Structure 1
């Protein structure tokens, strides 16, 4: 326990009263110092008898960079308290501190900024007595982990995977699926001239639905140089999600993780979680993040990241990742993907 500013002010009154008592007699001491000392003692006893606050946290769902989450933390106890959440780098918060009488619930908005698994908390709680003379500071509540996936971008190339990687025939050009912007590598016969005519500055192509049932699988391997791992993780996540959406089973090979073959929503979350946590320690600028040559040779899709950018290799076809990126809008943020 320690004195607040108000408490130090009262203590100063007591000291001043003692000086006056020595100068003018005990009446000044009795009239001023005694009530002040009594207030300090009463405040100390009250805070000593107040139970230590306890904290209950809700699970924070996994998110992508730029996503927001509403966080609620229930604080039980007594007295008046200043509550402040511990926000690590990689996360940002608005309204993560408050002053209230306990028990109370602190609710604030958390914004995910950087890929990784971040440690949120514990709460710093400063409990004061009712007079505000004495306070006790504690760190309460276990910290919780917040998983931030790498960004996922919309990329062109489903047909590229089907043809170049799996050596399958083209998608049957029958059932219309959607219209999107042209990306290098799209067949010219897929240009949607009607949509293109409405926007002379852009070229649009038609995507056709793939209704075939396939049991194919692919292996995605990712490697990168120091300082380029975020770009590698985003590219690998984008390719893996695209392959899952095409109905393929996906295996992921990373220098520090291996996600075995699988498909479905649960497997999507496992892939994204592995890419969220891969090589998040950037303390060494000289660290190389590489896979063995035989692992890269066995992979169907290889993601390579350097200081100059990220490349995607589909079999013998190598593309720049920026070149095949259709949109920077994340198609998963509206799906409610959680850990």
Structure 2
């Protein structure tokens, strides 16, 4: 709905007063004041009535909970309009509105806050004509979605899990293979700093031609819905640690079954499944056949290998690895 601003109301009052004076003192007052005011109101009303406004949001790369990216957010449409847009969010946050004279934009900071499917948009905008006499609220349909993976924490090899996640416990690194772009879950020890220094906006890691152990590792997750986030985080951390250590890793999480595998695409498949995990109980047969079982305990998730159980907190290193992609790679 189109409404007058306070400035528009003031102009309208002045125009009405001028018209009233014209009746009393002649048309010269009408020509000098009322006509420009009425024309300004009419032109502003038409501008708002036909105004076109579009919200352009960044395309976000799937990434881990807690990741913050910077990207351009813009408003385009009829030039010269004054617009302020608020962007709706679900599972992400954005650092404030987008405002200015159309076309306008700014660099937005977007943070992935909740595991699962996150949505940025749609939006709501308040548009004013060039003279600020009229305002109109309108919806903006732009919407982008992304998958938010659980955090992947650094683990210290300890207890029964150590042989499965120790990067030196089963791989013999033979020779340099290639340098490639960093992907979430790569160990920071593999960062190739010489290549990274040439392109500060990117991280690069070294891949080796590894002699890998043959045994598969099947990780199973099971627990109540209220603990789904913590279990997904613990399961992702164990699975990616084993994958990084050169193991062929499979996953059972509720009804989701992923066969053992290796590589970048398989890492993405594991994390995507755990992003969607909602706390389902894993079927008993699959649970019994798992190499590693992750479930809820009285003080957080616990990890079981064979007959030995260890609290997940004991496996955590002092801090989680930052999984922050570059703005170019995320938008």
Which bracket does the TM-score occupy, shorter chain normalised?
Answer: 0.7 to 0.9
Give the match for residue 46 of structure 1.
47
Q: TM-score, with normalisation over the residues of structure 1?
A: 0.73
Give the match for residue 309 of structure 2.
318
Q: Mind listing any 5+ residue stretches in structure 1 that lack a counterpart?
A: 176-208, 280-287
C-alpha separation in 2, matches of 1:273 and 1:70: 23
Q: Which of residues 302, 311, 320 in structure 2 aligns to 1:329?
A: 320
Contact 1:64 1:150 in 2 (8 A): yes
Map of 1:168-179 to 2, 5 A cutoff? none
Change (3 A) 1:331 1:119: closer
Contact 1:301 1:312 in 2 (8 A): yes
C-alpha separation in 2, matches of 1:328 and 1:162: 19
Which has the larger share of strand?
A: 2
After TM superposition, the structure 1 stretch with the greater mean CA deviation from structure 2, 89-98 or 60-69, is 89-98
Give the match for residue 112 of structure 2.
112
Contact 1:172 1:210 in 2 (8 A): no
Contact 2:170 2:246 in 1 (8 A): no
Give the match for residue 251 of structure 2.
252
Q: CA deviation at 1:244?
A: 0.5
Q: Mind listing any 5+ residue stretches in structure 2 that lack a counterpart?
A: 175-207
Give the match for residue 71 of structure 2.
71
Change (3 A) 1:319 1:161: closer
Contact 1:269 1:338 in 2 (8 A): no
Q: CA deviation at 1:158?
A: 7.7
2:64 alignment partner, SS class: coil
RMSD: 3.5
Tell me whether 1:302 sits opposite 2:293 in the alignment: yes
Q: CA deviation at 1:164?
A: 7.8
Contact 1:164 1:315 in 2 (8 A): no
C-alpha separation in 2, matches of 1:53 and 1:82: 9
Q: CA deviation at 1:87?
A: 4.0
Contact 2:160 2:308 in 1 (8 A): no
Which string of whole-angstrom CA distances, capped at 9 and with x for unpartnered residues, describes residues 78-123 of structure 1?
23232324142542322542212x2233321112233232110123
2:213 alignment partner, SS class: coil
Q: TM-score, with normalisation over the residues of structure 2?
A: 0.74
Q: Size of the alignment, in residue pairs?
A: 291
C-alpha separation in 1, matches of 2:14 and 2:297: 67
Contact 2:67 2:323 in 1 (8 A): no
